[in-house]
Amino acid sequence: MSKYKNPNYQKDYYQKNKDKIDKYSKEWYNLNRDREIKKRTEYKKENPEWHRECSRRNMVKNYKNNPEYRKKVRLNAKEKAQKRRLLIITHYSNNTMQCNCCGDKHIEFLSIDHINGGGNKHRKELFGYTCSGDRFYSWLIRNNFPEGYQILCYNCNLSRGFYGYCPHQKEKDECIC
C-alpha cells in the first residue's frame, strides 16, 4: 500500500524503526536538554490550564496502567488522610486527644461531632450526600477550623445520634457525689 493511502503509516513506520528512532530522540534530547527544559517550563507557566490537564491525564494513565504507581497513590492518600484526621482531632480536642464525654484516649475510636447535632444534614448540604471522614475533614481544614464541633469516641457519638444523649452524661447527672 502506498504510504499516502495508509492512515497508519506513521505508526507503522515507528513500530518498524522503533529502536533507531528512540535512540535518535534520546540523543537529540540529551544534546538539547537544557534548552528543552527551559522551553517546556516556560510553556507550562504560560499555559497553566494546559499543564494541569496534561498532568491530570498522565496521572490517570499511570494509575490505570502502572500497579506500582497505583499502590503509591493509594498509600499517599491514606497517609494524608490520616494526617488530616490527626490534625482535626488535635485541634477540636484542645490537644487532649480524648473523647470530650468519657475521656477515651484510643485514637482509633475518636471522631468529630457537631455539638448541636444535624451533622448528616450539614454534610449533605455541603457535598450533596452524607459523606463521612476525609472529605469532611478536608472541608474543616480548608475553612480554617470553624467552631461548633467536638471530639467524641464512637460510642458517645453514636449514642447521641441514636438517643439524643450519652449515658455517661446521665450517670454524671445522677451521681450525688
List phi, psi (to 5°) of 149: -125, 155
Q: State the minimum distance, in angstroms, from the CB of residue 99 to Zn ion.
A: 3
Residue 63 or 154: the one with the smaller Cβ distance to Zn ion is 154
Cα–Cα distance for residue pair 96/102, rounded to 1 Å: 13
| Sole residue written with cell 450539614 | 122
Of 110 and 123, which CB lies nearer to Zn ion in the complex structure? 110
CA 160 to CA 167: how far, in whole Å? 9
Between residues 88 and 166, which has the closer beta carbon with respect to Zn ion? 166
Q: Measured from the CB atom, is 89 or 102 closer to Zn ion?
A: 102
Shortest distance (Å) from residue 145 CB to Zn ion:
21
Closer CB to Zn ion, residue 112 or residue 153? 153
The distance of closest approach from Cβ of residue 40 to Zn ion in the complex, given in angstroms and rounded to an integer, is: 54
**Rule CB under 5 A: which residues touch Zn ion?**
99, 101-102, 104, 153, 156, 166, 168
What is the nearest approach in angstroms of Zn ion to the Cβ of residue 166?
3
CA–CA separation, 29 vs 9, rounded Å?
Answer: 24
Q: For residue 106, give the 3-state DSSP assignment.
A: coil
- Tell me the CA distances in angstroms from 97 to 27, 46, 88, 113, 115, one per residue in order: 57, 46, 10, 14, 17
> Which residue has 517546556 as its cell numbers?
40
Instruction: Report in angstroms how near the CB of residue 159 gets to Zn ion at its nearest.
Output: 6
